[in-house]
């Protein structure tokens, strides 16, 4: 039987190495038994590189020696693998758009070369213009097709891309305010946030400006936002993408977020009240962290009794203000004289607003009246007993219960 050593018996270097391993590496190790994993792709790439090197060594392109030909084949294989790694991060819409755009570009270049063959220009000039047309048209077709590929309606293709359609509502765009707030990392860690998380490049630029600010408070907030992003990026169940899309004609960051959400058909995760209203008016779905926090607060009903600490006086006459542990403000009538004291209150009403929940109550003085009544009753009993015992000629008070042996 294999005994696993306890964390106390392990060396500190091993524990630090285990902590430094990202969750994504653990997830990849757990999926080694599947087809198409890291080791399968590594084997395919090694075979492809070997074929490229052998082809360059045998055919010797450009009249090079065998060693230089093998080097050219190696560089060609590395370029193809790097291009393939970049394509793995592209969406299916963009790949289809780039493919269609390249085909249309090559078709346009071919028609242009047919027209050039009927001209009287020299052969070298005609070949140069034909090659330039092929390069330019193919480049423009790939770039424009990839950028406009997000506008493709894959649902109209008869269910061929059903997996892409199932991810239609799985994109979430993070706002700057919700990143700095930090609670979104806890929500994602509890797996209440799934799918693909999109972090726009202009949001990262805004966070960097805040982190480099001369104001110490702003600098601390910006660095906290960057730490939250690193924490989210290490979560294995989330796919984090940095979107390079920018809208130069839109000056404000909030409006850029709305345009980006329209392009990716995504939801915006924010706690900004104004962005929530503007995006809702334009038909964008919003995941408001403040609304989630308010929904998780304990339910308080009118008539219930709670114990609160009066922190300061309220705006109205004879009011006191207290706060619960979750930040809910409690306004108490008749508690102005109870500042810096813990008292019992009776809830009169609860108001739910867009900014949060407010509880209104009144001071419950029953707990204070009972000790007063007990103290006053004891003093009155002592006074009556004293009056009967003074005046030596008076008859003593009759006992409440008859003594045994007396009739």
Determine the pLDDT at residue 193: 85
Bridge-based pairing of strands 267-270 and 239-243 is unpaired
Specify whether 149 is located in the same domain as 199: no
Q: How many helices (H) and strands (E) does the chain have?
A: 15, 10
CA distance 213 to 255: 23
CATH number of the domain residue 328 falls in: 2.40.50
Same domain assignment for residues 144 and 175: no
Last residue of a domain, one of 127, 154, 181: 154
Decide if 330 is inside a domain: yes
What is the rounded CA–CA span in Å between residue 162 and residue 51? 36
Residue that finishes a domain, picked among 268, 295, 322:
295
Secondary structure letter of residue 200 according to DSSP: E
Whether 392 is covered by a domain: the verdict is no
What phi and psi values does residue 130 have, to the nearest 5 degrees? -65, -45
Q: CB of 31 within 8 A of CB of 37?
A: yes
Under 8 Å between Cβ of 340 and 310: yes
Evaluate whether 64 touches 72 at the Cβ level (below 8 Å): yes
One domain, residues 277 and 175: yes
Long-range contacts of 243-252 (CB under 8 A, 24+ apart): 243/173, 243/198, 243/199, 243/200, 243/201, 244/201, 245/200, 245/201, 246/200, 246/201, 246/202
The residue whose two tokens read 């003093």 is 379
* 179 and 290 assigned to the same domain: yes
pLDDT score, position 151: 64
Residue 22 covered by a domain: no
Query: What is the tally of structural domains in the chain?
Result: 3
In this prediction, residue 296 carries a pLDDT of 78
Euclidean distance between CA atoms 332 and 338, whole angstroms: 10
- Distance CA(199)–CA(277), nearest Å, equals 21
Each of the 407 residues of the chain gets a pLDDT tens digit; together they read 434 444 444 433 333 333 333 333 333 333 333 445 678 888 888 999 999 999 988 888 888 888 898 898 899 989 988 888 877 777 777 888 888 888 999 999 899 888 888 888 888 888 888 888 888 988 898 888 887 776 665 544 544 444 444 444 478 999 999 999 888 998 988 888 888 899 998 999 999 999 998 998 889 999 999 999 999 988 888 888 888 888 878 888 888 999 888 888 889 999 888 888 888 888 888 998 888 887 777 778 888 888 999 999 888 888 999 998 777 889 999 888 889 999 999 999 988 776 667 899 998 776 555 555 555 555 554 554 444 444 444 444 444 444 455 44
Tokens representing 229 are 């992003």
Of 101, 121, 154, the last residue of a domain is: 154
CB 268 within 8 A of CB 286: yes
Q: What is the pLDDT of residue 348?
A: 92
CATH number at residue 229: 3.40.50.1010
Domain of 346, in residue numbers: 305-367
Residue among 313, 315, 303, 311 at smallest CA distance from 362: 303
What's the distance, Cα to Cα, between the start and end of the chain in Å?
88
Query: For residues 277 and 271, what is the distance between their CA atoms, to the nearest angstrom?
Result: 11
- Look at residue 339 and tell me if it is in a domain: yes
pLDDT attached to residue 372:
57
Residue among 178, 140, 174 at smallest CA distance from 260: 174
The token duo for 261 is 């959400």
In a domain? residue 406:
no
């Amino acid at each position: 039987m294999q005994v696993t050593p306890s964390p106390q018996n392990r060396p500190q270097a091993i524990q630090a190495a285990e902590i430094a391993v990202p969750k994504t590496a653990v997830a990849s190790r757990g999926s080694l038994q599947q087809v198409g994993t890291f080791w399968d792709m590594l084997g395919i790439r090694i075979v492809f590189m070997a074929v490229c090197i052998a082809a360059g060594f045998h055919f010797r392109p450009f009249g090079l020696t065998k060693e230089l030909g093998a080097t050219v084949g190696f560089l060609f294989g590395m370029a193809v693998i790097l291009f393939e790694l970049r394509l793995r991060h592209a969406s299916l819409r963009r790949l289809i758009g780039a493919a269609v755009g390249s085909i249309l570009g090559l078709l346009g270049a071919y028609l242009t070369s047919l027209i050039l063959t009927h001209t009287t220009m020299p052969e070298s000039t005609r070949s140069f213009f034909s090659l330039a047309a092929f390069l330019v048209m193919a480049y423009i077709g790939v770039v424009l097709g990839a950028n406009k590929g997000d506008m493709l309606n894959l649902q109209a293709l008869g269910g061929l891309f059903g997996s892409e359609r199932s991810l239609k509502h799985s994109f979430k765009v993070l706002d700057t305010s919700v990143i700095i707030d930090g609670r979104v990392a806890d929500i994602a860690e509890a797996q209440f946030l799934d799918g693909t998380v999109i972090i726009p490049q202009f949001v990262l630029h805004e966070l960097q400006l805040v982190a480099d600010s001369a104001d110490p408070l702003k600098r601390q907030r910006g660095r906290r936002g960057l730490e939250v992003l690193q924490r989210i990026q290490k979560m294995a169940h989330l796919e984090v993408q940095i979107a390079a899309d920018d809208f130069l004609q839109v000056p404000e960051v909030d409006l850029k977020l709305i345009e980006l959400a329209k392009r990716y058909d995504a939801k915006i995760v924010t706690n900004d009240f104004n962005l929530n209203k503007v995006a809702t008016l334009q038909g964008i779905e919003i995941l408001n962290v403040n609304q989630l926090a308010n929904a998780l607060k304990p339910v308080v009903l009118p008539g219930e009794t709670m114990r609160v600490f009066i922190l300061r006086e309220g705006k109205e006459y004879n009011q006191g203000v207290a706060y619960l542990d979750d930040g809910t403000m409690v306004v108490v009538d008749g508690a102005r004289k109870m500042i810096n004291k813990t008292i019992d209150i009776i809830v009169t009403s609860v108001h739910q607003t867009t900014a949060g929940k407010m509880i209104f109550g009144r001071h419950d003085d029953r707990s204070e009246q009972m000790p007063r009544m007990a103290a006053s009753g004891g003093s009155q009993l002592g006074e009556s007993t004293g009056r009967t015992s003074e005046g030596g000629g008076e008859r003593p008070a009759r006992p409440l219960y008859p003594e045994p042996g007396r009739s």
